[in-house]
């Protein structure tokens, strides 16, 4: 009889614990997910959540600063398209394209986010093109250790543009290279894929990093269509970080091909 009574008590206790109408104790309350717990589930999930937050912050920034296309309704969001990437090696730091008119007008910026707020934002004002083709980041080793590099391609309405490389420092981005690298204009002479590709070499013999711009220039008898180019050539430009100027300077001895018709 005693064993039967104990068994009944155990069953009753189990039913009460499982009854959804019964209030849970503090020990039984489900643990709410935090940023830290989500991050522990994987870097990709954390970045996804961060990007969504950064997009909202950038739209709010655009509203405050009045960055929008003329004649648009002020109730509309200022940016038609926002592309956000986390800066390599800098958690909480991002680079973004903010288009007021997708692939036509826009700006690029770097920003530092903390506590759900933008702590600091820098617009990459050196870019003279109307729109931004792409913005990414790389991480290179130099004489002062590792440094994030911002890689931005500008794009004019005719399909030309430059590459802009920035060192991302504690006080913001510093321009270290600006040179033509985009040609997707549908004439008889253009880069395959629309632009040159930057390749980073961490340390050369002098302890400085290098950047090689590499690509193929296709030549056509008439405006490009489905026909094959009549001639193609390799294009290479090599730029070496100079400690005296803190800039990337071209090593002209390693130049291959013609980057544009003016050369």
Per run of 10 residues, the mean pLDDT along the chain (length 263 residues) is 39 39 42 36 44 91 72 66 92 92 84 92 87 91 79 88 93 94 83 92 75 92 75 94 92 85 44
Are the beta carbons of 126 and 161 closer than 8 angstroms? Answer: no
Q: Quick one: pLDDT at residue 158?
A: 85
Phi, psi of 218 (to 5 degrees): -100, 140
Q: Quick one: pLDDT at residue 17?
A: 40
Q: Quick one: pLDDT at residue 262?
A: 42
pLDDT tens readout for residues 80-92: 889 999 999 999 9
Q: Quick one: pLDDT at residue 162?
A: 94
Q: Quick one: pLDDT at residue 220?
A: 84
Are the beta carbons of 156 and 185 closer than 8 angstroms? Answer: no
DSSP annotation of 158: T
Please, what sign has the CA dihedral across residues 251, 252, 256, 262? positive
Q: Quick one: pLDDT at residue 229?
A: 84
Q: What is the spatial distance between Cα 13 and Cα 230, in angstroms, rounded to a whole number? A: 84
Q: Quick one: pLDDT at residue 121?
A: 95
Q: What is the spatial distance between Cα 149 and Cα 56, in angstroms, rounded to a whole number? A: 25
Tokens representing residue 157 in the block: 């309405």
3 state DSSP class of 236: strand
Q: Quick one: pLDDT at residue 72?
A: 55
Q: Quick one: pLDDT at residue 9?
A: 39
- Neighbouring CB atoms inside 10 A of 252's CB total 8
Q: Quick one: pLDDT at residue 4?
A: 39
Q: Quick one: pLDDT at residue 248?
A: 95
- Neighbouring CB atoms inside 10 A of 24's CB total 10
């Amino acid at each position: 009889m005693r064993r039967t009574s104990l068994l009944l008590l155990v069953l009753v206790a189990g039913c009460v614990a499982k009854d959804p109408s019964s209030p849970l104790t503090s020990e039984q309350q489900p643990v709410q997910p935090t940023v830290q717990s989500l991050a522990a589930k994987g870097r990709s999930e954390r970045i996804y959540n961060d990007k969504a937050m950064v997009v909202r912050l950038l739209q709010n920034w655009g509203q405050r600063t009045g960055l929008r296309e003329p004649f648009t309704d002020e109730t509309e969001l200022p940016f038609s398209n926002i592309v956000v990437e986390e800066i390599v090696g800098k958690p909480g730091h991002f680079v973004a394209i903010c288009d007021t008119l997708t692939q036509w007008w826009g700006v690029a910026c770097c920003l530092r986010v903390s506590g759900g707020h933008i702590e600091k934002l820098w617009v990459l004002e050196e870019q003279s093109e109307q729109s931004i083709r792409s913005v990414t980041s790389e991480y290179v080793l130099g004489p002062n250790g590792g440094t994030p590099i911002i890689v931005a391609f500008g794009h004019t309405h005719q399909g030309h543009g430059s590459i802009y490389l920035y060192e991302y420092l504690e006080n913001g981005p510093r321009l270290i290279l600006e040179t033509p690298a985009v040609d997707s204009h549908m004439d008889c002479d253009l880069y395959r894929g629309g632009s040159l590709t930057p390749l980073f070499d961490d340390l050369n013999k002098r302890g400085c990093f290098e950047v090689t711009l590499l690509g193929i220039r296709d030549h056509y008898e008439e405006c490009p269509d489905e026909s094959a180019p009549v001639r193609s050539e390799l294009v290479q430009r090599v730029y070496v970080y100079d400690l005296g100027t803190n800039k990337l300077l071209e090593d002209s001895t390693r130049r291959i091909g013609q980057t544009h018709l003016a050369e």
